[in-house]
Structure 1
Amino acid sequence: MLKRFSANYMAILFLLDGLLYQAALWIAPLLTDRGVVATSGLHLQLGLCWLLAFLVLDVYNPSKGVRWSQEGQRVFMASILAGLLLAGLLYLSGGVLPRGVFLVQIGIAAVLIWGYRIVLRLWHRWRRLRRERTHGVNRVLVLGAGDIGVNFAREFINASWPGLELAGFLDDEPVRDPATPEPLPGAEILGNINDVTSVVTGYRIRSIVIALPRWEYSRIARLISELSELPVNVHVVPDYFDTAFFNFTVDTLGGIPVIGLREPAIDGFQRVVKRVVDLLLGSLLVVCAAPLLAVVAAAIWLEDRGPVFYWTDRVGENREPFRMLKLRSMRVGAEALQEDVNEMDEAGNVIHKQPDDPRVTRVGGFIRKYSVDELPNLWNVLKGEMSLVGPRPELPWLVDKYKPWQLKRFAVPQGMTGWWQVTGRSDKPMHLHTEDDIYYIQNHSLWLDLQIMWRTIAVVVRGRGAY
């Protein structure tokens, strides 16, 4: 559905984005009083950088993260990436672009591009609420107003681009109590499912989504056969969301459609980008942190003459065990007392760490508060055992207490910081830590990783929730 409608619309977005990005290069010198005249070569370089950045970050993929906030994040991130690529090209080619012009150009481009896209969305929503019929709009009809259909429609309304419009529902119970609201505001039940032929004609439907429970398989098959005679696109929402892992795909095997329910959460190009970021930023952080590590190491040794570093067994991606390197913040032999200091609920589940853990040394309390003890994790990041961002590696004995649903957190590389760390750190019960980790996995993107890294700085400086 999205692919069919989006060809013309995406072409328009592509051209407008390119024109506005180039226009920003002309406007920026005027606002900075630099008097710089952009050459044709500079415009060509900018165009190549813009194209690469916007394609890499899926700005033109309407099926991924199409809420206005997510679109804005991708636009701003792509504009920054395009600017960085341009800076690299200028450096290699010996070109010159004043820093002020460079920064202003990125900001202007991002604001212009996101601004006109917001206007398009507002216009689309206003027209949908007025229930106007506009020529060329792909009107979508949902068969089934149960949980599957309503959930699909809700996401469709929240995330749909201009050019797609929800016409309404067909359901076996088209007549409802007047006091009962419509399944969704602005989306009414247009009739019985058996009326699909007349509704398609009367409402100029171009796409139909079958959203019936899987126990109505035989009826779904009959509907598909019946709808094949109508000039509409037909789609089926599979009732498998309760059994899916994080991502699911639709592939073909020998011409037979196959739904993949347990696909890797981070795969292909995303994994490559994540690894490159880990190597580049990890190496930079090692160099920057070296003086601090030397000072802290001396303080740890002077306090009790014990070892500075220690290795701890942890569980990584796909539940693979590995040895994680940390600065020692506890008394020697403290790990043997781990289970004695964890607070447990009635069911035996770990609730949270003790903020006044008696095993922590004086220096250890300080470095744990500001997460300095985690800096040696960079060694594990560079080795590929961890990532900069991801769920924190867990202790093996604690993983043994996990419920099956909690094991989903091991579907991605474990990280030095994560969504849990920037939203609660050690302040929250551990079962909520896992919920935060699963949220991260389900919503993973390069932009989210960068957000988490940025927010980690503020959390660490405040020393909030770490002990």
Structure 2
Amino acid sequence: MTAVLGHATTVRSVRRARSRSLPFLPLAVLGGDVLLMATVTSLASVVGDGMPFFDPNAEVDVATRVAAPLIAVGWLLMLAVAGCYRREVLGAGSLEYKRVFNSSVLEMGLVAVGCFLSGNLISRGFYVALFTLGIPALVLGRFGARKVLHSLRRSGYLGFPVLVAGSTEHIDEMVDVIRRASWLGFDVRGALTPGGDEGMTPAGVPVVGPTAETTKAALDADANLVLFTEGASGSGQELRDRVWDLEERGIGVVVAPGVTGIATDRVSIQPVGGLPLMHLGTPAWAEATRIGKRIFDVVGATALLVALAPVLLFVALRIRLHDGGPVFFHQSRVGRQGIPFRCAKFRTMVVDAEERLAALHAQTGYEGGLFKMADDPRITKPGKWLRRYSLDELPQLLNVVRGDMSLVGPRPPLPHEVARYDNASRRRLHVRPGMTGLWQVSGRSDLSWDDAVRLDLYYVDNWSMLQDLHILFRTFGAVVRPRGAY
């Protein structure tokens, strides 16, 4: 017993030490911004001298050099006022980038207005160079800091010790998401259920007490955060009292709403009679079918076809020379509004792959959804590396140009999959299927069928062009470091 207690104490000490630096995270990010700001300001002072589209003989005057540090300090204060250094926005989501960009644009406007009203004009070259270099540098700096933070959190550092409170089924659902997103840094120490006597949830999370003793359990577990899911309380007043009790002891609180799969851009909170009502905006799938996205798809797919022409030719020759079979494989897929189309891919399997499918279904116990095997015997030798780096999907650029598909969207389903769709899954058909999407950059074949559907539905209901660009950027990383590709 003494050895067990000693081991538990050691583990707790290590965890506490690993999270001890967490309060200094905003200061570290601020320090990085200060270095970037100093560098950018110095560069702008040099680059701004004689910018050719202004006066090539102009120089950054003394007034500008005096104003430069003041502008930099004001910029940092603007970032702080906008909440860019709050721990809850660091390391996750797009809110951090939005706040940095919006506050930087506001600073740019205030500097221009201030110079105009005061009559103290700074060098136009310096002004343009400062914000042309500074805004991208700050955004990229946050991106780099996020990558470092995620790496540290995956190694067990800078995490949040967390307790999850609610019914066992909702606790397991939440913990499953947390475990997949290890970069969040949520270190789940235990669960709190209404009864508190389960011992362990079905997913293996130890139950450390009842929800009625949330504060005591959080203090005993050294938890910095309590995450409330459905079933955590019997009434709103009961939940409010527990939240107040936790806040008085400096323990953070996160409440997971019963409505899931909703992006923050669609949510607005309106207090009515002291109750915070969550209003949901209209789903964005209608916007994803507009002409702007279509133009982006056609231009992007055409440019990629031209740029990748040598790769396409090499792959085609490699497949043809391997077994003399056809280069392309065409398969019926279901597109927007349930309209079928012929999806083109480079052939990665033996010629009689479809005839062998029924036997593999019986061998693996296939029950529906997406069928994938880690070591499918039908895959050819060139097909293995084509699939590993998703090169087999490049011919789908032709489907994008024709209008059957989009560059980004839900995975194109097979007809027999659509025949089994429930009402929720059918919402995936509101938009064109995509060559890439949230399903691909989140793990591809490593995802369960339910996870793939959940990600596709999130995309359909919360589409934005910014999200499309983000997914395309992440797709490059998913291809270079393939995970779940087979």
The TM-score with structure 1 as length reference comes to: 0.51
State the match for 2:286 in structure 1.
Answer: 266
Q: Which of 297, 301, 308 is the equivalent residue of 1:278?
A: 297
State the match for 1:92 in structure 2.
Answer: none
State the match for 1:226 in structure 2.
Answer: none
Q: Give, in angstroms, the shift of residue 439 of structure 1.
A: 2.2
Q: Give, in angstroms, the shift of residue 289 of structure 1.
A: 1.2
- Where 1:404 maps in the other structure, the secondary structure is coil
Distance 1:295 1:79 in 2: 48
Q: Give, in angstroms, the shift of residue 183 of structure 1.
A: 11
Q: Which of 291, 295, 313 is the equivalent residue of 2:310?
A: 291
Distance 2:470 2:429 in 1: 21
Distance 1:324 1:177 in 2: 51
* Kept in 2: contact 1:350–1:429 (CA 8 A): no
* Kept in 1: contact 2:97–2:139 (CA 8 A): no
Distance 1:309 1:433 in 2: 26
- Deviations, residues 366-385 of structure 1 (Å, cap 9, x unaligned): 21111111000000101111
* Kept in 2: contact 1:313–1:324 (CA 8 A): yes
Q: Match of 1:402, as an amino acid?
A: Y
* Kept in 1: contact 2:284–2:460 (CA 8 A): no
- Where 1:354 maps in the other structure, the secondary structure is coil
CA 1:438–1:28: 2 relative to 1, 3 Å: farther
Q: Give, in angstroms, the shift of residue 343 of structure 1.
A: 8.2
Q: Which of 406, 410, 418 is the equivalent residue of 1:387?
A: 406
CA 1:399–1:177: 2 relative to 1, 3 Å: closer
How many equivalent pairs are there? 282
Q: Give, in angstroms, the shift of residue 71 of structure 1.
A: 4.4
Distance 2:402 2:245 in 1: 51
Distance 2:336 2:281 in 1: 19
Matches within 5 A, 1:132-143: none
Q: Which of 77, 91, 106 is the equivalent residue of 2:132?
A: 106
Q: Match of 1:406, as an amino acid?
A: S
Distance 1:355 1:101 in 2: 55
CA 1:34–1:333: 2 relative to 1, 3 Å: farther
Q: Match of 2:340, as an amino acid?
A: P
Matches within 5 A, 1:342-357: 342=361, 348-350=367-369, 353-357=372-376
* Kept in 1: contact 2:104–2:135 (CA 8 A): no
User: Is it true that 1:209 corresponds to 2:229 in the alignment?
Assistant: no
Q: Which of 454, 459, 468 is the equivalent residue of 1:449?
A: 468
Distance 2:325 2:239 in 1: 75
Q: Which of 332, 349, 370 is the equivalent residue of 1:313?
A: 332
Distance 2:477 2:327 in 1: 27
Distance 1:454 1:103 in 2: 26
Q: Match of 1:366, as an amino acid?
A: W
Distance 1:465 1:183 in 2: 44
- Deviations, residues 395-454 of structure 1 (Å, cap 9, x unaligned): 111222333322222222210001111111111222211111122223322121111111
Q: Match of 2:339, as an amino acid?
A: E
Identity of aligned residues (%): 35
Distance 1:113 1:429 in 2: 33
Distance 2:419 2:388 in 1: 28
Q: Give, in angstroms, the shift of residue 180 of structure 1.
A: 4.2
Distance 2:384 2:104 in 1: 38
Distance 1:327 1:464 in 2: 20
- Where 1:403 maps in the other structure, the secondary structure is coil
- Deviations, residues 112-167 of structure 1 (Å, cap 9, x unaligned): 8999xxxxxxxxxxxxxxxxxxxxxxxxxxxxxxxxxxxxxxxxxxxxxxxxxxxx
* Kept in 2: contact 1:329–1:360 (CA 8 A): yes
Distance 1:177 1:295 in 2: 62
Q: Give, in angstroms, the shift of residue 266 of structure 1.
A: 3.5
* Kept in 2: contact 1:351–1:431 (CA 8 A): no
Matches within 5 A, 1:339-418: 339-342=358-361, 348-350=367-369, 353-418=372-437
CA 1:305–1:80: 2 relative to 1, 3 Å: farther
Unaligned runs of 5+ in 2: 1-39, 56-88, 106-124, 142-234, 249-269
Distance 2:477 2:240 in 1: 52
Q: Give, in angstroms, the shift of residue 338 of structure 1.
A: 3.2
State the match for 2:51 in structure 1.
Answer: 36
- Deviations, residues 187-238 of structure 1 (Å, cap 9, x unaligned): xxxxxxxxxxxxxxxxxxxx852698xxxxxxxxxxxxxxxxxxxxxx9767
State the match for 1:334 in structure 2.
Answer: 353
Q: Give, in angstroms, the shift of residue 272 of structure 1.
A: 2.6
Q: Match of 2:429, as an amino acid?
A: F
CA 1:297–1:36: 2 relative to 1, 3 Å: same
Q: Tell me which moved more, 333-342 or 69-78.
A: 69-78
Q: Match of 2:424, as an amino acid?
A: W
State the match for 2:94 in structure 1.
Answer: 70
Q: Give, in angstroms, the shift of residue 305 of structure 1.
A: 0.8
* Kept in 1: contact 2:319–2:327 (CA 8 A): yes
CA 1:465–1:29: 2 relative to 1, 3 Å: same
Distance 1:398 1:320 in 2: 14
Distance 1:274 1:80 in 2: 28
- Where 2:455 maps in the other structure, the secondary structure is helix
* Kept in 2: contact 1:76–1:110 (CA 8 A): no
Q: Cα RMSD (Å) of the superposition? A: 4.4
The TM-score with structure 2 as length reference comes to: 0.49
* Kept in 1: contact 2:407–2:436 (CA 8 A): yes
* Kept in 2: contact 1:343–1:354 (CA 8 A): no
CA 1:114–1:448: 2 relative to 1, 3 Å: same
* Kept in 1: contact 2:335–2:433 (CA 8 A): yes
Q: Give, in angstroms, the shift of residue 109 of structure 1.
A: 3.5
Q: Give, in angstroms, the shift of residue 354 of structure 1.
A: 0.3
Q: Match of 1:311, as an amino acid?
A: H
- Deviations, residues 308-361 of structure 1 (Å, cap 9, x unaligned): 112110011222211111111111131233344358998923475101111111
Q: Give, in angstroms, the shift of residue 464 of structure 1.
A: 2.4
User: Is it true that 1:435 corresponds to 2:461 in the alignment?
Assistant: no
